[in-house]
């Protein structure tokens, strides 16, 4: 996939330019990783716990992990995503640490050993995702959960939990893990208003005909997004009805559109124009004059406005 290139001094007057920077990388976790070697589950000198005690310990170990996975599902855009992944990683580490020293009932020794091993593999999966979020290869909670769901280590944990639960009388429900085979949502149509804030006379033309990725262009005022338009790569679109005001223009590009987050789920980039766009309307007895701006999402000769990278935490949501 061709990545966004960083512009070195592109601009907008009546005509402008932008090239979003590449932020992706493939340094993530493989689902098939194995955890570091650890001591065997249980202590050879400890007396086995009762099945009732084992069930209670299993619940106390796994419930916090399920809670953090559910919280990850609530994550929308990139902001705060790294912390949520870290919380899942901490929860699986704690679950393994709680179950590893347990001497299980004789009926579930083999299944318990398999579960501890599977938790180690799952820990490796989640640990690798932190790097993928950091490199912005994964950019929304939905994209992270989809990656988790397809990992081999997640499949191993599903099977291990099911095997244990089959042996625990009246046991708790199986741990809810992200489903395999999740697909990103469909791309919006070219020119779709993701956020509408019309009511004025101004016009904004976005030209992405030379781009290799779809883009979301946002007009922000006072730190809040007022209007966002989706422009597919290879296309252009004119937005009508921009209200008067002075706007900062933010751009994000990527793949795997996440409609719930209103953001790209993978390979995301965040930039803005340093110079704002000013929209004004002047009315005379015979004319109405209003502002029109045109921006181009690839470098062009003659651009005269600077662009800069944006910390995702500062990107308007």
**Cβ(264)–Cβ(300) below 8 Å:** no
pLDDT for 212 equals 85
Mean pLDDT lowest among 11-15, 103-107, 270-274? 11-15
Burial class (CB in 10 A: 0-12, 13-18, 19+), 153: buried
**37 domain-assigned:** no
Question: Is residue 10 in a domain?
Answer: no
- Do 216 and 137 belong together in one domain? no
Query: What's the CA gap between 251 and 188, in Å, rounded?
Result: 16
Residue 32 lies in a domain: no
Q: Is residue 176 part of a domain?
A: no
Q: Which of 147-156, 187-196, 207-216, 239-248 has the lowest mean pLDDT?
A: 207-216
161 lies in the same domain as 218: no
Residues 161 and 80 placed together within one structural domain of the fold = yes
- Four-CA torsion 204, 205, 206, 210, nearest 10 degrees: -160
- 246-263: per-residue pLDDT in tens? 999 999 999 999 999 999
Q: Is the pLDDT of residue 304 over 70?
A: no
Are residues 199 and 159 both part of a single domain? no
pLDDT number for residue 74: 85
**Torsions phi, psi for 107 (to 5 deg):** -65, -20
Q: Which domain holds residue 121?
A: 51-167
Integer Cα distance of 239 and 209 in angstroms: 16
In this structure, are 125 and 233 located in the same domain?
A: no
The encoded tokens of residue 27 equal: 């340094």
If asked whether residues 205 and 147 sit together in one domain, one would say: no
The verdict on 146 and 228 lying in the same domain is no
CA distance 163 to 161: 5
Least confident of 43-57, 219-233, 241-255, 260-274: 43-57
Looking at residue 140, which CATH number applies to its domain? 1.20.120
User: Which tokens sit at 152?
Assistant: 């081999």
Q: Are residues 60 and 97 located together in one domain of the fold? A: yes
Asked if residue 16 has pLDDT above 80, the reply is no
pLDDT band of residue 172 (cuts 50, 70, 90) is: low
Classify residue 148: in a domain, yes or no.
yes
- How many Cβ atoms sit within 10 Å of the Cβ of residue 314? 11
* Average pLDDT across the chain, whole number: 84
Reported as a single tens digit per residue, the pLDDT across 193-227 is 999 877 899 999 999 998 889 999 999 998 899 99
Which of 167, 201, 232 lies at the terminal end of a domain, its last residue?
167
Choice among 94-98, 119-123, 170-174 with the minimum mean pLDDT: 170-174
Q: Do 199 and 294 belong together in one domain?
A: yes
165 near 202, Cβ under 8 Å? no
Q: What is the pLDDT of residues 55-90, one digit of tens each?
A: 999 999 999 999 999 999 888 889 899 999 999 999
Choosing from 167, 201, 228, the residue where a domain stops is 167
Q: Please give the backbone phi and psi of residue 179, each rounded to the nearest 5 degrees, phi first.
A: -70, 150
Burial of 119 (0-12, 13-18, 19+ CB in 10 A): buried
Q: Residue 21 — pLDDT band, cuts 50, 70, 90?
A: very low
Last residue of a domain, one of 167, 182, 205: 167
Q: Is residue 268 one of the residues assigned to a domain?
A: yes
How far is residue 72's CA from residue 126's CA, in Å, rounded to a whole number?
12
Residue 13 has pLDDT above 80, yes or no: no
Whether 259 is in a domain gets the answer yes
Pair 64, 91: CB distance under 8 Å: yes
* 189/183 Cα distance (integer angstroms): 18
Query: How much is the pLDDT for 306?
Result: 77
pLDDT of 1: 36
Which tokens sit at 275? 């110079």
Residue 182 has pLDDT above 60, yes or no: yes
Q: CATH number of the domain at 291, please.
A: 2.60.40.10
Give per-residue pLDDT as tens, 105-132: 999 999 999 999 999 999 999 999 999 9
45, 229 contact by CB (below 8 A):
no
What gap in Å lies between CA 299 and CA 6, rounded to an integer? Answer: 9
42 lies in a domain?
no
163/197 same-domain check: no
Higher pLDDT residue, 262 or 25?
262
> Residue 166 pLDDT > 60, yes or no?
yes
Residues 123 and 163 in one domain: yes
Domain count, the chain: 2
Distance between start and end Cα atoms, the chain: 26
* 11 against 272, higher pLDDT: 272
Stated length of the chain? 317
Question: Does 306 lie in the same domain as 198?
Answer: yes
């Amino acid at each position: 996939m061709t990545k966004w290139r960083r512009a070195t001094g592109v601009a907008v007057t009546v005509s402008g330019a932008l090239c979003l920077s590449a932020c992706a990388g493939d340094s993530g976790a493989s689902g098939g990783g194995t955890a570091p070697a650890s001591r065997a589950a249980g202590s050879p000198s400890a007396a086995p716990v009762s099945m009732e005690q084992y069930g209670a310990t299993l619940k106390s170990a796994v419930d916090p992990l399920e809670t953090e996975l559910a919280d990850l599902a609530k994550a929308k855009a990139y902001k705060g995503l790294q912390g949520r992944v870290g919380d899942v990683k901490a929860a699986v580490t704690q679950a393994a640490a709680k179950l590893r020293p347990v001497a299980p009932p004789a009926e579930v020794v083999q299944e318990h050993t398999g579960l501890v091993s599977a938790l180690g593999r799952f820990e490796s999966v989640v640990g690798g995702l932190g790097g993928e979020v950091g490199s912005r290869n994964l950019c929304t909670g939905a994209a992270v959960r989809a990656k988790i769901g397809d990992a081999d280590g997640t499949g191993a944990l599903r099977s291990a939990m099911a095997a244990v639960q089959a042996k625990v009388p009246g046991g708790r429900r199986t741990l809810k893990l992200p489903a395999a085979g999740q697909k990103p949502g469909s791309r919006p149509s070219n020119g779709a208003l993701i956020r509408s804030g019309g009511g004025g006379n101004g016009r904004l033309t976005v030209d992405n005909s030379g781009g290799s990725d779809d883009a979301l262009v946002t007009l922000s005022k006072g730190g809040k997004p007022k209007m966002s338009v989706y422009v597919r790569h290879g296309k252009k679109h004119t937005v009508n009805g921009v209200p008067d005001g002075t706007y900062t223009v933010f751009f994000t590009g990527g793949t795997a559109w996440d409609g719930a987050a209103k953001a790209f789920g993978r390979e995301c980039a965040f930039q803005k124009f340093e110079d704002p766009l000013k929209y004004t309307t002047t009315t005379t007895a015979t004319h109405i004059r209003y502002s029109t701006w045109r921006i181009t999402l690839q470098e062009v000769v003659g651009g005269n406005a600077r662009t800069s990278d944006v910390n995702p935490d500062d990107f308007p949501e």
